[in-house]
Amino acid sequence: MLPLLCAAASAVPAGARSLIAIGEWITDAPQSALEVLDFPAEPLTGVHPVPHPATVRRLLQRLDGDAPDAAIGALLQAGGVHPSESERSAKPVPRAIAVDGKTVRLDHPGARQAIQTVRWRRDRSTGKLTIERVYLITGLDTYDATAVQLATWIRGHWGIENLLHHVRDRTFREDDSKVRTGHLPRTMAGLRNLAILIFRQNGHTNIAAALRHTGRDHTRPLRILGLT
């Protein structure tokens, strides 16, 4: 299972946008890449056979959605900033958590406030004005979360939207995905997040260009994932 998961994680930064594309990347991978990914070899020939694309789908469908998230968390902890002693001992403050509504559906029995945010955006190249209304909820009441605090958290979430969700929608065409079964939507989103965050940590600002560059050589995704 681990070799197949590593192969799926390698295929996405190489430009694979779908389960079919992940299967095709694995099928086209040279024997040297399959060896690095630890696919078992035939005892007589030494050849590393690749799994059928349906096997890839079944594995990712059964995969716990927490696995890609745990991998991302480990990556960020390894390359991120660790809090100082004073920060660790400081009084905890409320933390905003964003949930991607396209891949997760939740009820909110603890909601205390509902917020409507109106966003005005103008495309500088065309001059087109877009007005978007976004609705949010919070479990904090008006005494625990003021309008200023809520606005700050919302702006912070918009930064996350630009960093991850926007790239997934525009570059990976996530909105066009037909994947709806089991944990697949969350797993695919996690694999895309992992690819985006690795590219960001490596200094890439144009994710589409990074995908094209990585996809031209089967060894490049293995290298950026630390597998070689």
Interval 33-47: pLDDT, tens: 999 999 999 999 999
Quote the pTM value.
Answer: 0.62
Looking at residue 92, its pLDDT comes to 52
For residue 87, the surrounding DSSP H or E stretch is: helix 85-89
Query: What pLDDT does residue 74 have?
Result: 62
The answer on pLDDT for 182 being more than 70 is: no
146 Cβ contact list (under 8 Å, min separation 6): none
- Return the bridge partners of 129, or none: 122
Query: pLDDT at position 162, please?
Result: 59
Residue whose tokens read 């390698």: 10
Overall average pLDDT of the 148-164 stretch: 67
Q: Which pair of tokens denotes residue 134?
A: 């976004």
Q: Say if residue 90's pLDDT is above 60.
A: no
pLDDT in tens, 91-150: 555 555 554 544 444 556 777 777 777 878 788 888 888 887 877 777 777 777 777 877
Cα 154 to its chain centre, rounded Å, is 20
Confidence of residue 217 (pLDDT cuts 50, 70, 90): very high
Return d(Cα 7, Cα 1) in angstroms, integer: 10
